[in-house]
Amino acid sequence: MKDENAVISALEERITTLERQVFGDEIDSKVQQNRQVIEEIVQINSQILRSVASRESVAQLMKKVEDMIDFLDLEESSQLLGGEAKANAVLAAEPIIRQMYGIIKEISLDQVNEAINSEALRNLTSLSGQLAQLKMVQMEQKNDYDNFIRKIRAIEEATSILAANLPN
């Protein structure tokens, strides 16, 4: 009986130690009390299996990143950034690169030629001249406005002086 109690106590101590290692500081929380150690071990095991299974895809991704680094490797960037920093920069810019690629892919040479040969671009010099004329008109109007405001202030000042000198 004493041996059985010792074995049971040893097992309970081992389970408690295992629970502390699995649950950490949250061992006494209500959520953790309802969970069993075996559930945690199965969950951790499945996470490990998933990470090992995705290891091959990570290796392929890193190979692609190395290829991208080779394509993007300029003299200045090779001096400024290390390999890991370049990889991080490419990975961070991936959504933007994909978006820009999609936009560029949708543009045809006909659309580019139409834009270059458009009426607006051909008339750009005449539009610049018109803009200069409008700027001159705007400056003249601003001067006229400033003169008008000065005259109004002079009239207001004269009116206030006259009003102050009127007998009650």
- pTM of the predicted model as reported, rounded to 2 decimal places: 0.30
Q: 9-41 pLDDT, tens per residue?
A: 888 888 888 777 776 666 666 555 556 666 777
Any idea what the Cα angle at residue 99 is, between residues 93 and 104, rounded to 5°? 120
CB neighbours (10 Å) of residue 76?
Answer: 8
Joined tokens for residue 164: 């102050």
Q: 72-121 pLDDT, tens per residue?
A: 655 545 555 667 777 777 788 888 888 888 888 887 777 777 777 777 77
Give the distance between the most distant pair of CA atoms in the chain.
123
The alpha carbon of residue 5 and the mean position of all alpha carbons in its chain are separated, in whole angstroms, by 61
